[in-house]
Amino acid sequence: MASTPQSRTKSPTIKRILREAAELTSTPSPDYTAEPLETDLFEWHFTLRGPPHSAYSDGLYHGRIILPSTYPLRPPSFRFMTPNGRFEANREICLSISGHHEETWQPAWGIRTAIVALRSFMETDAHGQLGGYDTTEEVRRRLATESHSFRCPGCAKTNAEIIRECEERAKEADTDGQDVDIPEELSMGFKDQMGGTPENKSQAGGDTSDTNAASSSHPTPPNGTDHSAPSNIAEHPPPLSPRPAQAVPQPTRTIPAAHWQPQSRPAVNMMMRDPQNGVPIWIDRLIVGLVVVLAALVIKVMFGA
């Protein structure tokens, strides 16, 4: 197991990883094992037996688990390194317990639960999900036989050697490992099934689909009630249409403003006309008066001189 500085052991994520590693060591299972690398606690290697009563029953399969920095709030990602005929080697697997479908991951689940679920998923069909492919039973059985000699470059051990050590630890501990119940949320976790069956997605982010279904359900009753529904539809639009017609024309068409404009314009015209009609009268009178006064002054000046 990797050693970590004391400062890092205070992290909840590090504590969780160390606790799970210790739990897998104290209660080993003869069918699977997993442990972190000595140089990186966030990268684990696992080895598991193929599910019994299947084409993988004789196989031993090795793979990697990558834990996110926020584990267990976010799920780990998985990839098989051993060719197996069910999952593509060295390609990330798309399952409900992997990083591709975070909405179905529960922090209460752990690496043991993920490995047991991953082992059970090997018996299912790929159905085109990411990292999975279909092949014949013959190819899967052949790959299962060849998987014993697969050697991980990092672990420097074959799958057969790793499982043999796992069986010995289980015998010494006198345990078959903990009984792990696979959560129901993980049973339908493939990519092509995530949109059709998961109830969690409909609760978390599927409200839009419910609203679309509800909106599509409203036009269906008129089809069922061929005559009554159209009559109801004909009755509802009239009250609805005048309402926007009354509200819209007032601000947009500015009907009241149209009435005020002709009233305001004549008033302005009258105000303009009154001074125009009055100005010539007063001006003429003033001009006449001034002319008379000036003429008198000029006469006085001329004759007086």
Annotated catalytic residue: which of 94, 152, 155, 166? Answer: 94
Q: Residue type for 128, please?
A: G
Res. 251: pLDDT tops 70: no
CA distance 28 to 23: 8
Where are the domains positioned within the chain?
Answer: 6-204, 257-304
Judge whether 155 counts as a catalytic residue: no
Q: What is the pLDDT of residues 262-295, one digit of tens each?
A: 444 444 444 444 544 555 677 888 888 899 998 8
pLDDT recorded at residue 280? 64
CA distance 304 to 46: 136
The stretch 159-167 carries a mean pLDDT of 96
Q: Residue type for 279, please?
A: V
CA dihedral in degrees (273, 277, 279, 284; nearest 10)? 160
Q: Residue type for 174, please?
A: D
Angle among Cα 190, 194, 195 to the nearest 5 degrees reads 145
CA neighbours closer than 13 Å in the CB half-sphere of residue 46: 30
3-state SS assignment for residue 57: coil
Q: What is the pLDDT of residues 141-152, one digit of tens each?
A: 999 999 999 999
Res. 248: pLDDT tops 60: no
CATH of region 6-204: 3.10.110.10
Q: For residue 132, what is the DSSP state?
A: B
Q: Which of 116, 83, 79, 80 is nearest to 98 (CA)?
A: 79
Q: What is the pLDDT of residues 90-117, one digit of tens each?
A: 988 866 666 667 777 889 989 999 999 8
H helix runs in the chain, sequence order: 6-9, 12-26, 111-121, 137-146, 159-173, 191-194, 199-204, 207-217, 220-224, 228-235, 237-240, 242-247, 255-304
- Residue percentage of the chain with pLDDT more than 90: 39
CA distance 148 to 50: 11
Q: Which of 32, 31, 45, 61 is nearest to 2 (CA)?
A: 45
CA distance 126 to 288: 113
pLDDT recorded at residue 175? 72
Q: What is the pLDDT of residues 61-88, one digit of tens each?
A: 999 999 999 999 998 999 999 999 999 8
140-149: burial string, b at 16+ Cβ within 10 Å, e else: bbebbeebee
> How much is the mean pLDDT over the chain?
74
The alpha carbons of the chain give a radius of gyration, in whole angstroms, of 44
Q: What is the pLDDT of residues 1-38, one digit of tens each?
A: 555 554 456 799 999 999 999 999 999 999 999 999 99
pTM: 0.58
Are residues 183 and 106 in contact, defined by beta-carbon separation less than 8 angstroms? yes
CA distance 182 to 169: 24
DSSP codes joined into one string, 141-210: HHHHHHGGG-EETTTTEEHHHHHHHHHHHHHHHT------PPPGGGTT-SHHHHTTS-HHHHHHT-HHHH
Q: What is the pLDDT of residues 176-233, one digit of tens each?
A: 655 677 766 654 433 444 444 444 444 444 443 444 444 444 444 444 444 444 444 4
Q: What is the pLDDT of residues 253-262, one digit of tens each?
A: 444 444 444 4
CA distance 215 to 217: 5
CA distance 113 to 267: 88
